[in-house]
Amino acid sequence: MSDALLPPRSSPSPSRSSPHAPAAASPVAAVALRDDARTIGLVGLAHGTSHFFHLLLPPLFPAFIRDFGLTYSELGLLVSAFFVVSAIGQALAGFLVDKVGARPVLLAALGCFVVAALAAAGANGYAGLALAAVLAGLGNSAFHPVNFTILNKRVSQPRLGHAYSVHGITGNLGWALAPVFLAGLTALSGSWRIAYLAAAALAALVLVVMLRNRAALDDRSGTWAHQTLARASSLAPEHPLAFLKQPSVWLCFGFFFWSTAALTAIQSFASPALQKIYGLPLSLTAFVVTAYMLCGAAGMAVGGFLVARTERVERIIGWAMAGAALLLLLAGTGWLPGLAASALAALAGFGTGLAAPSRDMLIKRAAPPGATGRVYGAVYSGLDIGFALAAPVFGALLDRGHAAGIFYGAALLLLFGVATAWLVGLRVARGRVFALAA
């Protein structure tokens, strides 16, 4: 088996129209666009929901401290529990997606979110909150192998870059919505339990939407050119774990680990770090993280256009993430006015967002034939492990007074990500040359 995905499907399926088709085919093209938009929108909604449930518990930590007498260390373990369960489950979910399909796994994951929010609403102490964290982590574990399997199978090749862009943007919006939704409803109702009941209703509503539009999520239709070639070959099917022998899979895993660890540093500690370095009020620096996520969403929108026009997507990743690293380095120096440093830290989000659609395309090209769900499950578990391990490391760095280390460390991690992305791109290009020669 090749270590890289062979060239993407070269001819459209009967339901898709070629961009060079005659004018008579325009109604078919309109149907194809409508179908693609429907699938992309549904998958984006599912991804936004999963990111919303990343933050099911953290926005209400102060309420748990008040009502249950818990410490931040104990509550931090709930976050670790979420991501550890998600990391293990994500690797396993990829096998399940390849075996039974993405759609039933997606519906089951949304059901987990409903139960998780209900568990949080009924929690009477630490054990109840831990149960909610585990259930939410289990639900979250399915979404990357599910989402990318559906997108790669159902969306036309020319629109895949835009699909990845929407996927990333909706994730950022889910992160942005959760604190406002949960804290806002708690303030309005006077009870965090009501906020969690509303979160359960929100997940249930999304589940109903998916059920009513399940035809647009059917991943049993569609194929890739490399899968057709694999079926036509005389080679015997490989072991389900054979993809783990592929260096590109582990390089992609490493890329996610490094880039997510950098995101964790900024998402969790940029605000207090800027306060310590520049003496800015926390009421101001708190908006830096929000601005970082919004800049990331804007970068993803632009990146969706770039990835459709660039063959060597690792070049986009390299330049975008290297630029973000440079901005973070400047923000951490202490040489600039505080507001300028805050603006640069936020603008770095544009670079990481710009790289995101190219990142997802690179993983698609690195996936061996027939192992898409497994590859996305294994690779994206690097995201969960990055979240779980980086937070305590950067937290300890800040506790020891090394505020600038938050930005220096994040920049260094981004450069590690650039290096691994280039290695993946080289392997993909080499595999494509070998395939064409064969």
Go through the domains of the chain in sequence order and give each one's CATH number. 24-220 (1.20.1250.20), 240-438 (1.20.1250.20)
pLDDT of residue 197: 97
pLDDT of residue 157: 80
Stretch 153-163: mean pLDDT, rounded? 83
What does the alpha-carbon distance between residue 412 and residue 434 come to, in Å, rounded to a whole number? Answer: 34
Average the pLDDT over each of 34-38, 251-255, 424-428 and give the range with the smallest value: 424-428
pLDDT of residue 75: 78
Stretch 345-371: mean pLDDT, rounded? 74
Q: Which two tokens stand for residue 319?
A: 């330049």
- How far is C-alpha 118 from the chain's CA centre? 25
> How does residue 265 score in pLDDT terms, banded at 50, 70 and 90?
confident
pLDDT of residue 392: 77
- Whether the CB-CB separation of 378 and 249 falls below 8 Å is answered with yes
What does the alpha-carbon distance between residue 169 and residue 329 come to, in Å, rounded to a whole number? Answer: 25
pLDDT of residue 119: 97
> How does residue 427 score in pLDDT terms, banded at 50, 70 and 90?
low
What does the alpha-carbon distance between residue 424 and residue 362 come to, in Å, rounded to a whole number? Answer: 8
- Classify residue 332 as exposed, middle or buried by CB count within 10 Å of its CB (0-12, 13-18, 19+): buried
- Whether the CB-CB separation of 359 and 420 falls below 8 Å is answered with no
Stretch 379-406: mean pLDDT, rounded? 79
What does the alpha-carbon distance between residue 109 and residue 115 come to, in Å, rounded to a whole number? Answer: 10
Q: Which two tokens stand for residue 40?
A: 């992309």
More confident residue, 53 or 224: 53
Residue 137 clears pLDDT 90, i.e. is over it: yes
Q: Tell me the pLDDT tens digit for each residue of 280-314.
A: 886 677 678 778 878 888 888 787 777 666 666 77
> How does residue 213 score in pLDDT terms, banded at 50, 70 and 90?
very high
What does the alpha-carbon distance between residue 239 and residue 243 come to, in Å, rounded to a whole number? Answer: 8
More confident residue, 16 or 99: 99
User: Which of 139-148, 207-216, 220-229 has the highest mean predicted lDDT (pLDDT)?
Assistant: 207-216
Which contiguous run of DSSP H or E holds residue 201?
Answer: helix 192-212
CA dihedral 341, 347, 348, 350 (to 10 degrees): 180
Q: Tell me the pLDDT tens digit for each residue of 234-249.
A: 444 555 555 556 666 7
- Classify residue 65 as exposed, middle or buried by CB count within 10 Å of its CB (0-12, 13-18, 19+): middle
- Whether the CB-CB separation of 109 and 143 falls below 8 Å is answered with yes
User: Which of 166-180, 304-318, 319-333, 418-432 has the highest mean predicted lDDT (pLDDT)?
Assistant: 319-333
What does the alpha-carbon distance between residue 32 and residue 228 come to, in Å, rounded to a whole number? Answer: 22
Stretch 59-70: mean pLDDT, rounded? 86
Cα of first residue to Cα of last residue in the chain, in angstroms, is: 12
pLDDT of residue 22: 45
What does the alpha-carbon distance between residue 110 and residue 133 come to, in Å, rounded to a whole number? Answer: 14
- Kindly state the DSSP code that residue 9 receives in the 8-state scheme: P
More confident residue, 191 or 265: 191
What does the alpha-carbon distance between residue 145 and residue 43 come to, in Å, rounded to a whole number? Answer: 12
Q: Tell me the pLDDT tens digit for each residue of 394-412.
A: 877 877 888 898 899 999 9
- Classify residue 210 as exposed, middle or buried by CB count within 10 Å of its CB (0-12, 13-18, 19+): buried
Residue 5 clears pLDDT 50, i.e. is over it: no
pLDDT of residue 212: 95
Torsions phi, psi of 405, nearest 5? Answer: -60, -25
Stretch 14-42: mean pLDDT, rounded? 65
Nearest to 113 by CA among 58, 49, 165: 49
Nearest to 325 by CA among 362, 286, 346, 351: 351
Residue 273 clears pLDDT 80, i.e. is over it: yes
- Whether the CB-CB separation of 35 and 52 falls below 8 Å is answered with no
Residue 33 clears pLDDT 50, i.e. is over it: yes
Residue 436 zone, left/alpha/beta (φ > 0; ψ -120 to 50; rest) = alpha
- How far is C-alpha 274 from the chain's CA centre? 26
Give this prediction's pTM: 0.69
User: For the chain, what is the mean pLDDT?
Assistant: 79
> How does residue 7 score in pLDDT terms, banded at 50, 70 and 90?
very low
pLDDT of residue 234: 40
Residue 20 clears pLDDT 60, i.e. is over it: no
Instruction: Please say whether the dihedral angle defined by the alpha carbons of residues 163, 166, 172 and 174, taken in this order, is positive or negative.
Output: negative
Nearest to 49 by CA among 107, 127, 129, 124: 107
Q: Which amino acid is at 222?
A: G
- Classify residue 231 as exposed, middle or buried by CB count within 10 Å of its CB (0-12, 13-18, 19+): exposed
> How does residue 366 score in pLDDT terms, banded at 50, 70 and 90?
low
Residue 72 clears pLDDT 70, i.e. is over it: no
